Amino acid sequence: MTRDSKAPAIIPAADLVPASTSHTRARSDDELIASWLDGMGSDRTRANFAMTADRFMGHLAARGLTIRSATVEDVREIMAELATGKAKSTAVQYAQRVKSLLSYAHRLGFTAFNAGAAIRTKGGAVDRAKRIASETEIALLIRAAPTKRDRLMLEVGYAGGLRVSELIELRWADVVLRSDGRVQLSVTGKGDQLRHVLLPAIVSRSLLASRGEAAADAPLFPSRKGGGPLLSRAVNRMIKAAAKAAGVNPAVSAHWLRHAHASHSLQRGATLAEVKETLGHSNVATTSVYLHAQPDRSSGLVLDEGIFR
């Protein structure tokens, strides 16, 4: 071998996988993670999964390990470390993302076994009843919003049953004025699935009146700094402040508006199918496929208009 020749990289025996069993071009943990993230449905999902992968890989590196050399015990201990100081729901999300990564690695032949398969996540039951505000509480929350923009954002979020991510990503190009004077929103939900949501006339009028000279690609609810879209944490900070001012449950968050929409509209006579379509659920329990591009009814239309006055 000449001095100018490059010596081949030495790969630990634990990291070797027979080429015949591999169904990916990835030859390193970083390349595998990039491949895994490429299959994600949305930018937001990719960002969340990438953040968890980065933290998981940091813990592996601190132990001198790779995805291929980590044992079940290693992964279990790292999951416990990732969960330290986190809410149970956050810890479960971290664990599920790590398990997804390890399952992907094994399914493609990158690893000889799936170190996450034997690890169970403990999600616990979610008591949705505790996350549903009354109509009175929603009305008080809306009236306590610190600015006109914030009040309108709460009205649209509640009337449309929107996730906070859907709310802040709305642009004026997504707003269609129907012949009956109501607004139809084109909402991109989980998995980049599109659905169309009708707003009550009273909320439609307020929304249209707020546009001014905003361009089609401008956000409905711009940040006061630079006019770009708001961040979800900024929305939740605003809601916490409004809740404090209104004297309602301090645990309230943007997602409570969605829960409240579903509960209140069903109580006022909306059908289960209408609520499912409006919220973008693929069935009564889970999320999200687009069902009708031109709905003649929407569960938001039966909500009490007095809430928005």
- In the chain, where the domains are located: 13-107, 128-308
Quote the pTM value.
Answer: 0.59
The confidence score (pLDDT) of residue 162 equals: 93
Nearest to 281 by CA among 291, 271, 292, 293: 291
Same fold, 13-107 and 128-308: no
Instruction: Classify strands 194-198 and 183-188 as parallel, antiparallel or unpaired.
Output: antiparallel
The confidence score (pLDDT) of residue 296 equals: 55
Q: What is the DSSP letter of 31?
A: H
Q: Count CB atoms within 10 A of the CB of residue 223.
A: 14
- How far are the Cα atoms of 80, 82, 293 from residue 159, in angstroms, in the given order? 40, 37, 18
The confidence score (pLDDT) of residue 123 equals: 54
| Coil, strand or helix at 256 | helix
81: Cα within 13 Å, side-chain hemisphere: 16
Regions in the chain scoring below 70 on pLDDT: 1-21, 41-42, 121-131, 282-297
Q: How far apart are CA 201 and CA 41, in angstroms?
A: 33
- How far are the Cα atoms of 6, 8, 10 from residue 3, in angstroms, in the given order? 8, 13, 18
Dihedrals phi, psi of 253, to nearest 5 degrees: -140, 175
The confidence score (pLDDT) of residue 125 equals: 46
Q: How far apart are CA 23 and CA 50, in angstroms?
A: 22
Cβ contact 165:171 at 8 Å: no
The confidence score (pLDDT) of residue 9 equals: 44
| Coil, strand or helix at 103 | helix
**128-308: what fold?**
hpI Integrase; Chain A (1.10.443)
Q: How far apart are CA 219 and CA 96, in angstroms?
A: 32
Q: Which residue has the tokens 């404090």?
A: 244
The confidence score (pLDDT) of residue 286 equals: 33
Nearest to 260 by CA among 278, 238, 242: 278
Q: Where are the beta strands (DSSP E) in the chain?
A: 175-177, 183-188, 194-198
The confidence score (pLDDT) of residue 121 equals: 67
The confidence score (pLDDT) of residue 283 equals: 57
Catalytic residues: 163, 190, 255, 258, 281, 290
- The yes/no answer on whether domain 13-107 falls in CATH 1.10.10 is no
